[in-house]
Amino acid sequence: MSGTWVPGADGSGFGLENLPYGVVAGADGRPRIAVRVGDHALDLAALVDAGLLNDPTGALRAPTLNPFLALGRPSWAAVRARLRALLAAGNPDAARVGEALRPLDAVAPALPVAVGDFVDFYASLEHATNLGRLFRPGVEPLLPNWRHLPVGYHGRAGTVVVSGTPVRRPLGQRGPTRPGSPPVFGPERRLDIEVELAFVTGAGPPLGRSISVHAAAEHIFGFVLLNDWSAREIQRWEYQPLGPFLGKSFATSIAPWIVPLEALEPLRVPGPPQVPPPLPYLRTDDPWALDVELEAALTPAGSSVDTTLTRTNARGLYWNAAQQLAHATVGGATVAAGDLFASGTISGSEPGTFGSLIELTQGGRTPLRLADGVERTFLEDGDTVVIRGRGGAVSFGEVRGRISHASHRTESA
């Protein structure tokens, strides 16, 4: 196919090569499954109503992508092939298809999936090494298990929000100011970002059966940009011995558009060497690293000028998505349609490629000077962060969030 008849879509990152899925709401507030084409959302239910797209199960009329994801890869491939044909240049039904196009500025993005389970990994060697040095200075930065398995934790699915949702500064405990004194309670002072990619799954096998690295592609629907906002003071005080809890539970933002795995085939490349070789259940020679350029920018409160904080690439992740899924299920854990598995912070080896402020500022010791002259070590109220991603002709769009002030209000019985 040479291109699409949709004006402006070719070369935009949202042409026929991509066609990412999301959910949008129009003036009636009703959420509808859509595919992004250029600066338009293509309403799939409207295509079904027009007789242009088959939907025998009714999955494409649902308010989330979950029922569609549950259908599995053959259905995903069939719908994608049909959409590419409908949107291809020269399609005689272009005028009828055009009636289902909605300008992006006329719709509001909604959370594309109802997230049942959320897992966040720690898959970047560089990030894990940097944080190990900051949190445990003077000792080996990587714990003994790190090179043998994809370290991860189960996060809060209920606080996964779509791009544009305000992020309230969390309250919590931070460590004592001096030995023997009690911990301190209050608003988090070291609020941070984490530049990540996440994958979304279809249905998995029954309880007790795992997914092998070689079957991962049958269960991974696609990838989405993710920012796992982090409260570093809370995290540092609480994380031993059981890992993150309140420091990560207050908000996780994802982009509105999930890029199908099929669209990412040209971007799949070999990952970095793994030394020592992983155990057999984690070994794969398939190219699962993704050559996706990522960047994060910050617009400080009261300003309209943004500053690029970091540029990095997802291809450097030590543990890939197939290994993450195989490890998460090797003990028999279930996977459901719409589950979310995040990479953890993606950092490169150079200072300008780190995926979090705690790394970029060396633990807050070296402030960043922004384009309008102000400085930041961590986020302040009113700051806006946007993460963008693109690989070749495929754009992931952006995930955006603005920090609002902490609230002391609580619900009483």
- Choosing from 127, 148, 219, 327, which is the catalytic residue? 127
Q: Would residue 214 show up in a list of annotated catalytic residues for this protein?
A: no
Q: Would you tell me how many other CB atoms lie within 10 Å of the CB of residue 387? A: 28
Active-site residue list: 127
